[in-house]
Amino acid sequence: MDRSSCAKFRSASETPGDSQQTSVTAVGIPKLRASSAGAGRAKLGELLNELPFGHCLTLPQGVLMRRVFPWLAAGLFLSATPASADEILVDGIAAQVGEDVVLVSEVMAMVAEGEKQMRAAGVAEDQIAKLRAQGLERLIEDKLIHGEVKRMELYASDDEIDETIGMIASDNGITAQELEKSVRAQNLDFEDYREQIKQKIENQRVIQVALLPKVEVEESAIRRLYDQRFKDQPDGGEQIHLRHLLVPASQDKDLDTACVEVTAADERIAAGEAFEAVAAEISVIAPEQGGDIGWVHASSLASWMAKLVATLEPGGISPVNRQPFGCNLLKLVEKRAFERVSYEMAEQQLYREVQQMAIEAEFVTWMEELRERTFIQRYGYFAAAAQLDTTTTDSADAAQGALFQ
């Protein structure tokens, strides 16, 4: 399937909550991400669609997330007693994984947002400890995978990283320079971003070499997935391609403040700035994609969204819209008649999805094998936290989240 075919299939087949990369459920109603380390992660299967190596390219929500802290020459260990809310954790080694180590600062960076939400909700310290323990296990798996990259010498070159960044930018309608500017606007180091891309390329290669040869895809499984996905698709109607800028109300920001920010964004757009550039800077909906939520069927829009869209022509931008959950701006990119997706249109993409599910199952077994043959030791606080009940993240969820932050 070429890139244009991928785009056609995705736009024709996407439904709210189906393959969107945003946190929108029924389109127009934001969904708060769960605070556990296992929730809201990119699936392992997305790895094969995440970078442009013969597969449909998507830009995962986490691609612009901050990189873990740089290596520090530290040998301090934490107390075996879980930290209190006001305890300052001193950096050190959280775990040794073969010849590599995971730093405390890496774990804390990974779970920072989830921990912030949990503390605001008054969650008990043992639950915070579980969150940190789960974060450590994900980083341990990262180290195990990186060890396989080194063993098989599957390194990504600078040219491959540049090419991938260029294709990600192109897929999002911006230049590589604009993408770099967007990264820096979020107070992120672009070299750290490049390192993320490098790791994703290398992880993809490991999966292709170690797991793909073990996977067989039966046509019956593809047909079952087609029936699940498209059996009840509309017979007609209209598809809408939207960009959505949302600043949510929260404990830290009331609705009035959120609307002040969106009004200021609207003024910037009216003065000539691109909607997608402003959305990339302040929106919580698909910021890396300039607020692009893709194609959706008109019947799936939330009522407040449908009313706004009905007043817009392609290229038009709605007035600032106030909802209980936050303030919004919508841009109608284009619209078209809905065409049903035939089995032939969907087959290649569904093949990949079935393949990905099979890879997820193989990944669990593979990761267990890597753990068994690698020396792993957790230290101090994390040795104690690992003894807590962490079964809330089951093996399937661990497999889905292991490769990406």
pLDDT > 80? residue 76: no
Read off the pLDDT of each residue in 45-57 and give the average, rounded to a whole number: 33
φ and ψ of 366, to 5 deg: -60, -45
Distance (Å, whole) CA 387 – CA 382: 9
Read off the pLDDT of each residue in 68-87 and give the average, rounded to a whole number: 31
Helix (H, G, I), strand (E, B) or coil at 194: helix
Contacting residues for 54 by C-beta, under 8 A, at least 6 apart: none
Distance (Å, whole) CA 91 – CA 104: 5
Residue where the block lists tokens 């230290």? 379
- Name which residue leads in pLDDT, 383 or 31: 383
pLDDT tier for residue 137 given thresholds of 50, 70 and 90: very high
DSSP state of 317: B
CA angle 374, 376, 379 (to 5 degrees): 170
pLDDT tier for residue 172 given thresholds of 50, 70 and 90: confident
Q: Are 69 and 109 spatial neighbours (Cβ–Cβ below 8 Å)?
A: yes
pLDDT > 70? residue 327: yes
Distance (Å, whole) CA 299 – CA 296: 8
pLDDT tier for residue 251 given thresholds of 50, 70 and 90: confident
Quote the pTM value.
0.53
What CATH architecture does domain 236-337 belong to? Roll (3.10)
pLDDT at 385: 82
The two three-digit tokens of residue 362, written as one number: 């193989």
Domain ranges of the chain: 33-219+343-401, 236-337
Strands (E), 208-285: 238-248
pLDDT > 50? residue 241: yes
Indicate the CATH number of 33-219+343-401 among 3.40.50.1370, 1.10.4030.10, 3.40.228.10, 3.30.70.3450.
1.10.4030.10
Q: Which of 204, 152, 153 is nearest to 363 (CA)?
A: 204
Distance (Å, whole) CA 366 – CA 371: 9
Q: Which of 160, 115, 153, 113 is nearest to 133 (CA)?
A: 115
Read off the pLDDT of each residue in 340-369 and give the average, rounded to a whole number: 92
pLDDT > 60? residue 404: no
Read off the pLDDT of each residue in 96-124 and give the average, rounded to a whole number: 92
Q: Which of 19, 14, 12, 13 is nearest to 336 (CA)?
A: 12
pLDDT > 80? residue 252: yes
- Cα 325 to Cα 291, 307, 320, 329, 348, distances in angstroms: 17, 17, 14, 13, 38
Q: Are 123 and 116 spatial neighbours (Cβ–Cβ below 8 Å)?
A: no
pLDDT at 341: 87
pLDDT at 208: 87
Longest dimension (CA), the chain: 64
